[in-house]
């Protein structure tokens, strides 16, 4: 399985920030300071809710994320930070993800699933990045596919107009913690983010520039106890470690123990350890994460 099925998906799910914005329909000039993020999904209009759209330009990547009032989410991650047209294919490191947060199906639709462009793929065009106002404008159109059941979503007429972006990850909330020993060296996350999509909970800790990133994926309704085996091939419980911004190493063995999952107060706590290797098998480099601990709030 390719590396591109791991890091970009996680990036798209976790890089969520809240910005204040308004709805509009034209890329030519909405006139609202908060920006707009909208598209057509299978013929029906989709508009990201006022408090649920964001953009980041961090560590060589652009990420756009929006969630509509009916809990449909679109996330786009691009592998550069310049204006231009980005192709989304099964092989590209740029990716788009669609999912329904309230769906019982835990797997998302993406542009890098499927076998060819008839099933998934498309383009995203970044028209302008205003470094003074820190806004980004562009268009997108693509098809996303889900291998597990062969279903497809067609997303057209996509627009993000003067969407405010941030250029660093937000610092952790005072009550959130994620620590581990990575290859024998103590590591503590400076930025901790969480995201849930279709009952999949992703926790991510990193430095503020996005490096030294550790991600854990698990069902949102995971039960207290364990240990659960961290194995990326199951796509149910796994860890991911990325020393730099792109690429990374997925858990091929390891353990996750849940100490608390308080659904009412939206807080999860646990321990983890895993051995991380290149999931493509192209590199022999490996990393060992031990003594991992997290206590994180989630939405």
Q: Looking at the predicted structure, is the pLDDT value of residue 263 above 80?
A: yes
Q: Looking at the predicted structure, is the pLDDT value of residue 69 above 60?
A: yes
Cβ pair 286, 277 in contact under 8 A: yes
**Which of 130-139, 144-153, 226-235 is predicted least confidently?**
226-235
Mean pLDDT, all residues of the chain: 82
Phi then psi for residue 232, to 5 deg, are -65, -20
Q: Are strands 191-197 and 177-182 parallel, antiparallel or unpaired?
A: unpaired
Global model pTM greater than 0.75? no
Confidence of residue 92 (pLDDT cuts 50, 70, 90): confident
* CA distance linking residue 79 with residue 76, whole number of Å: 10
* CA distance linking residue 5 with residue 92, whole number of Å: 10
Q: Looking at the predicted structure, is the pLDDT value of residue 41 above 80?
A: yes
Cβ pair 133, 162 in contact under 8 A: yes
Per-residue CA distances from 252 to 26, 100, 189, 286 (Å): 46, 28, 22, 10
Residue 35 neighbours by CB distance under 10 Å: 24
* Percent of the chain topping pLDDT 90: 42
Contacts of 132 (CB under 8 A, 6+ apart): none
* CA distance linking residue 166 with residue 35, whole number of Å: 13
Confidence of residue 256 (pLDDT cuts 50, 70, 90): very high
* CA distance linking residue 216 with residue 10, whole number of Å: 9
Q: What is the mean pLDDT of residues 40-54?
A: 92
Q: Looking at the predicted structure, is the pLDDT value of residue 9 above 50?
A: no
* pLDDT score recorded for residue 77: 87
Q: Looking at the predicted structure, is the pLDDT value of residue 121 above 90?
A: yes
Per-residue CA distances from 194 to 17, 23, 202 (Å): 10, 25, 6
Radius of gyration of the chain from its Cα atoms, rounded to whole angstroms: 18
* CA distance linking residue 240 with residue 212, whole number of Å: 11
- Residues 185-224 have pLDDT tens digits of 999 999 888 877 667 788 888 887 778 889 898 988 899 9
């Amino acid at each position: 399985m390719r590396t591109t099925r791991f890091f970009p998906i996680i990036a798209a799910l976790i890089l969520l920030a809240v910005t204040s914005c308004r709805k509009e329909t034209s890329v030519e000039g909405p006139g609202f300071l908060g920006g707009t993020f909208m598209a057509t999904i299978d013929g029906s209009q989709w508009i990201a809710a006022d408090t649920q759209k964001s953009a980041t330009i961090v560590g060589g990547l652009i990420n756009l994320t929006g969630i509509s009032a009916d809990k449909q989410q679109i996330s786009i991650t691009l592998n550069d930070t310049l204006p231009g047209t980005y192709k989304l294919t099964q092989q590209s490191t740029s990716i788009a993800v669609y999912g329904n947060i309230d769906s019982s199906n835990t797997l998302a639709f993406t542009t890098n699933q499927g076998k060819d462009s008839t099933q998934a793929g498309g383009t995203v065009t970044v028209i302008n990045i205003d470094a003074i106002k820190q806004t980004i404008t562009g268009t997108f159109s693509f098809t996303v596919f889900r291998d597990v059941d062969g279903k497809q979503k067609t997303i057209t007429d996509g627009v993000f107009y003067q969407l405010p972006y941030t250029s660093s990850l937000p610092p952790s909330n005072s009550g959130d913690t994620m620590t581990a020993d990575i290859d024998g060296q103590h590591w503590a996350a400076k930025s901790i983010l969480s995201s849930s999509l279709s009952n999949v909970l992703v926790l991510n800790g990193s430095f503020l520039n996005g490096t030294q990133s550790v991600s854990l994926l698990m069902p949102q309704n995971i039960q207290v106890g364990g240990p659960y085996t961290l194995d990326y091939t199951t796509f149910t419980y796994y860890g991911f470690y990325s020393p730099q911004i792109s690429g990374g190493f997925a858990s091929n063995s390891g353990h996750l123990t849940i100490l608390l999952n308080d659904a009412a107060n939206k807080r999860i706590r646990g321990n983890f350890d895993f051995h991380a290797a290149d999931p493509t098998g192209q590199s022999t480099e490996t990393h060992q994460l031990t003594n991992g601990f997290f206590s994180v709030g989630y939405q």
